[in-house]
Structure 1
C-alpha cells in the first residue's frame, strides 16, 4: 500500500526517545529501523519531551505535525479524510509511582481523550494500546467497557506472547494444561505484565476456554522466602528447572545458588489450573515457560525475543498492529488484556498487603 491508499493513523505517546516503545513501534510505522510500513502516521502527540527526544526531528523529516493535544491528533484537521486507527503508547517517561509500586502512566487519560475526540467525529476506529490497560483495575474496566459500548475493535498487550517458541510444539498440548510456570526478569509490574501475558496466552487455550482467576499471591524474594515456599512444595521446582533449560547460556548451578531473592507470582484459576511466575533480577534476560499436560508430560520453550536492536519481536508486534488497523479484526480476545491487567493489579495489591488476594472480580469467561 502506498500514498493515499494507506490507512491513516494517529499516534499518542508518553515520550519518543531512543529505544522507547514509541520508537520501536511508532518509529517503525514512520519507516524507521529498516521497516516498510503499510499504514501512514498522520499525526503525533507526545505527553513529555525529554532531553533525548526524537519526535521533533522524526516528525519534521516525515512532514507530520506534532499536535498540542490528543484531540488535535485524533481530529487531524490537516488531512482531507479522517483517521482510520489510533496507536497509544503509554510506556516510558517521568511519571509518579504510587504506594503499591505501580508506575502511574496516563493510559486511561489517553484513551478518555481519544474517545472524546472520536465521538466528536462520530468515528469508531481500531485502537491499539501498548501493554496493560491501567494500574487501577477500575480504570481498566471502564476503558474496556467504553470501547465495547462503541463497537471499537481493541488490541492491547505486549510483544512477548507473540514471539516464536523455541522449540515449537503442537498447540493441542495446551488443551490439557493444568500447571504452568513462566520465567521472567526485571521490575515486578513493568516486566511482570509480560510474564502474565505469556502465561495467559498459554492457559487460555486449555479445553473449555478461560474461566477466570480466583486468587493471586506475590512474594517478593527476601531471606530466601521464595525458595522456602518451593521446599514446602507450594510451587513446582521441576517445571522451573525445565523452563530455565530452555534459555541458552545459563550457568549449570541451581538458580537458588545464583540468585537468592527472586519474586514469585502464584495464580490460582477458577477451574483449579495453577500458574506461577518466577521473576529474577539478574539470572535471565528473556522469558521462557514450562507446562504440565496429558498427565505428567512437560513441554518447555523459550519466547525468542531479541536482546539488542532492532528488536525483531517489536517488528512482529508492529505487523500485527498494522494488520489489525487495516482489517479491524482483533488478533486475540481483548478480554485477555483486561484479565492480565486485573492479574497484575491484584499481584501488586498482594505485595502491598503481604497476603494472598482473592479475586472474584476476575472470574472472566471467554474463548
Structure 2
C-alpha cells in the first residue's frame, strides 16, 4: 500500500464499513461491524511500538488481543492484524519474541522499521504506541519518564519521511511532562495525524451503571482515586473529565490548579468549598468505611477551577481507597449520582478490549473515536498539580490549559458485550 501525501489514509466507504448502532451512554453510536459480532470487515493492519511486553502489562492486554482475540483465548478478535512490532526493552518475562514467532509478526530494532515493516513506504493502516512499564527514570516531580514523546516523534518522523500519515493511538496520558504532552499534540495537529490517547477506564464498566446526558447542568463533582499520583491520578482525572465534559457548554479548559495535603486538603471540605456529602457518596463506593479517612497516609487533593466556574476535585487516597469513583450533583435532582469505574481482571483485563474497540474504530474510519484534547487537558492538570506539590502547594494559574473541545457521546462497556469462541473453534 503506497502513500504519497501527508493526509490520513483513504478508508472504505462508511456505508460498506459500518453496520447498525451500538447502545451508547445517552445516545447511539455507529461502530465497525466487527464490534457488532460480524466477521465480514476486512482487517486493517497495525504496527505496535511498545516499551515492554510481559504478561499483564499494557502491551500484553492491548496488542495481545489483536493476535489472540478479545479474551486472549484464541477466539474472535478485532478487525485488526498485527503487521510488525518494536519493543524498547526486553524484560525477564518477555512475551514479544515468542508471540511474534507464533503469529509470524516481524520484530524490528527501530521504530521506523516497524512503521514501514522494513520497506520504503508505510503499508500499515495505523500505529499503537504503548509507552507504559519498563525501566525508565523518574524526575523530581516523581513523574515516570516513559518515552511517549520519543515514540511519537519517531513515528511521525517516519510519516514525514515517507509521505503518508495513518492514525495513532497513545496509551494513557500524554507526556508525561506538560511540554512533551503539548509537543505531541501540536505535532499531530501539524501533520494532521488522527490521534487518540488515554485511559482504558473511560470505557470500562460502571457500578452502578451511570449514563449522564449531554448538556447536563452539573453543579459539583468529586472524584476519588488510589495508588500512585503519576500512575493513577492520570486515570482518575480522565474518568472525572469524561463525565464533567458532558456539562452544559463544556469544554473550555482550566484556569488554575492546586495540590493540597494534610490539614489544608481537609479544610476544603470543612469550609464548604468541597461538598462533604458528595465526597462521601464517592468514597462509599471505594472504601469499606469512611472512618479514618483523614488519617490515611499520603492522602492528597487536586483542586482545579474550570473556566466556566465548576470546581474540579480529586482526592487521591492511596492505601485507603480501593478503586476510582466519582459522585456529582446535577441541578434539579435531589439524589446524587455516583459510580465506580471497574478494573476487572478476567477475562484478561476486559476494559482494555473496550479501549481496543475505540482504537479499531479510529483505524477503520480514519477519525478519532473521541477527542484527544480530553487527554491533553487531563495530562496538563496532572503535570500542573505535581508542579504545585513541588512548589509547596502553590496555586498555579494555567493559561496553557485553556483547551477547548466538543465532547462526543461515545459509549462505555458493554457496547456490545464481548463475544469469543473457544481456542481452536
Give the shorter-chain TM-score range. Answer: over 0.9
1:5 and 1:348, CA in 2 relative to 1: closer, same or farther beyond 3 A? same
Which residue, 381, 384, 387 being the options, matches 1:349?
A: 387
SS in 2 for 1:254: coil
Deviation at 1:225, TM superposition (A): 4.7
1:3 and 1:12, CA in 2 relative to 1: closer, same or farther beyond 3 A? farther
Which residue, 361, 365, 371 being the options, matches 1:327?
A: 365
* Aligned counterparts of 1:324 and 1:243: Cα–Cα separation in 2: 33
* Aligned counterparts of 1:233 and 1:4: Cα–Cα separation in 2: 54
Conserved? CA contact 1:173–1:293, under 8 Å = no
- Are residues 1:126 and 2:167 paired? yes
Which residue, 90, 95, 99 being the options, matches 2:140?
A: 99
1:335 and 1:173, CA in 2 relative to 1: closer, same or farther beyond 3 A? closer
SS in 1 for 2:312: strand
Aligned partner of 2:107 in structure 1 is 66
Aligned partner of 1:286 in structure 2 is 323
Deviations 1:57-86 (A, max 9, x none): 111111111101000000113699700000
Deviation at 1:136, TM superposition (A): 2.1
Which residue, 342, 345, 348 being the options, matches 1:310?
A: 348
SS in 2 for 1:171: coil
Deviation at 1:347, TM superposition (A): 0.9
* Aligned counterparts of 2:249 and 2:401: Cα–Cα separation in 1: 17
1:199 and 1:66, CA in 2 relative to 1: closer, same or farther beyond 3 A? same
Which residue, 235, 239, 242 being the options, matches 2:274?
A: 235
Deviation at 1:116, TM superposition (A): 1.1
* Aligned counterparts of 1:296 and 1:216: Cα–Cα separation in 2: 29
Structure number with higher helix proportion: 1
* Aligned counterparts of 2:55 and 2:348: Cα–Cα separation in 1: 11
Which residue, 89, 103, 121 being the options, matches 2:130?
A: 89
Which residue, 149, 153, 159 being the options, matches 2:200?
A: 159
Matches within 5 A, 1:140-159: 140-159=181-200
Conserved? CA contact 2:299–2:316, under 8 Å = yes
Conserved? CA contact 1:17–1:53, under 8 Å = yes
Aligned partner of 1:135 in structure 2 is 176
Can you give the 5+ residue segments of structure 2 that lack an aligned partner in the other structure? 1-33, 407-425
Q: TM-score w.r.t. structure 1 length?
A: 0.92
Deviation at 1:53, TM superposition (A): 1.1
* Aligned counterparts of 1:50 and 1:194: Cα–Cα separation in 2: 25
* Aligned counterparts of 1:182 and 1:72: Cα–Cα separation in 2: 42
Deviations 1:274-294 (A, max 9, x none): 111111112233211101111
* Aligned counterparts of 2:332 and 2:305: Cα–Cα separation in 1: 19
Aligned residues: 363
SS in 1 for 2:400: helix
Deviation at 1:119, TM superposition (A): 1.6
Aligned partner of 2:309 in structure 1 is 272
1:325 and 1:227, CA in 2 relative to 1: closer, same or farther beyond 3 A? same
Matches within 5 A, 1:161-240: 161-172=202-213, 175-220=216-261, 222=262, 225-240=264-279
- Are residues 1:77 and 2:118 paired? yes
SS in 2 for 1:271: coil
Deviation at 1:296, TM superposition (A): 6.4
* Aligned counterparts of 2:212 and 2:396: Cα–Cα separation in 1: 31
Deviation at 1:168, TM superposition (A): 2.6
Deviation at 1:124, TM superposition (A): 1.2
Deviations 1:125-146 (A, max 9, x none): 1100001110222222221121
Deviations 1:154-200 (A, max 9, x none): 11001011123322344237620131111111100110000110111
* Aligned counterparts of 1:255 and 1:296: Cα–Cα separation in 2: 30
Matches within 5 A, 1:30-49: 30-31=67-68, 33-34=72-73, 36-49=77-90
Q: TM-score w.r.t. structure 2 length?
A: 0.80
* Aligned counterparts of 2:153 and 2:276: Cα–Cα separation in 1: 44
Aligned partner of 1:340 in structure 2 is 378
* Aligned counterparts of 2:290 and 2:328: Cα–Cα separation in 1: 22
Can you give the 5+ residue segments of structure 1 that lack an aligned partner in the other structure? none
Conserved? CA contact 1:42–1:76, under 8 Å = yes
Conserved? CA contact 2:327–2:339, under 8 Å = yes
Aligned partner of 2:54 in structure 1 is 17
